[in-house]
Amino acid sequence: MAEGRNLQELSQYTGYHFSNPDLLKIALVHTSYANENKKGEKLETYQRIEFLGDAVLQLIISDYLYARFPEADEGELTKFRQHLVCEETLARLARKLHLGDFLFLGKGEEANNGRRHSPILSDVFEAVLAAIYLDNGKKLDFLTDFLLTLMKEEIEMCGKNRGGDYKTRLQQLIQQDGKEQLHYEVTAEYGPDHRKTYEVDAMLNSNPIGHGVGPSVAKAEQEAAREALILFGVGV
């Protein structure tokens, strides 16, 4: 079984110090770790607490979008929320917080690069939100500020890009020059067949200009294009 880093170190990324560290550990225990536990004790995994974290996340984001975009109808607000709480977005946020480094994983999941898998990271991100929510007396003030700060780029994208096609925007930008060649290269793929994770580089001629991670090559390419647009100083 593989354990992550000292959980106290996580506060340097979240800005939150737990009164009850056991809540944080629950949010970081994968089922593979619990199943391989040889001490005989029953370990609670993040699956149940993630259920609560999903609801807390949906509430905070829905409330914010409702106030931020008074001109948007229900359909548009729903699209915004879908983008902000989708697996790829949450996994990207989890990577910002280095949550993968703190996971408690079984040997099999460790061997399958579980610390980098988007499905696991997105679930753990929601579980950590729930742990903070419970530890902080079910108050939303800290979590709201924390989330909106962490998701600043994604929220701004809702207003500027409306969840658009990053690859198309990048291609249009590159074509303005007429001499540069844009293509995408898969640099890594890992995980079992039913939930693979792909890493892709956006290449300008022979130079990488963006890196993306996703559950499919297409989604990883979109993330790579998004990073490239940011590199070029284009609002996303």
Question: What are the domain boundaries of the chain?
Answer: 7-160, 166-231
Mean pLDDT of each 10-residue bin along the chain, 236 residues long: 71 94 94 81 90 97 93 84 88 93 91 88 97 97 96 77 70 78 93 88 94 90 90 72
Please say whether the beta carbons of 189 and 198 come within 8 A.
yes
Rounded Cα distance, 120 and 213, in Å: 13
C-alpha to C-alpha distances, 112 to 25, 87, 90, 189, nearest whole angstrom: 21, 19, 20, 10
Task: Supply 42's token pair.
Answer: 């029953």
135 is catalytic: no
Q: Map tokens 């949450």 to a residue.
A: 90
Same fold yes or no, 7-160 and 166-231:
no
Catalytic residue among 126, 135, 201, 227: 126
What H or E segment, with its residue span, contains residue 114? none
Q: Which two tokens stand for residue 161?
A: 């890009």
Residue 208 bridge partners (DSSP): 203
* CATH entry, 7-160, from 1.10.3720.10, 3.10.105.10, 3.40.50.300, 1.10.1520.10: 1.10.1520.10
- Contact status, residue 41 vs residue 117, Cβ threshold 8 Å: no
Task: Check if the beta carbon of residue 80 is closer than 8 Å to that of residue 62.
Answer: no
Which class in CATH covers the domain with range 166-231? alpha beta
| Residue of 17, 24, 21 whose CA lies nearest to 46 | 24
Structural tokens at position 205:
């001629």
Half-sphere exposure of 23 (CA within 13 A, CB side): 21
54 given a catalytic annotation: yes
pLDDT the model gives residue 163? 47
Instruction: Indicate which residue of 50, 54, 154, 227 is catalytic.
Output: 54
pTM of the model: 0.72
* pLDDT score of 65: 93
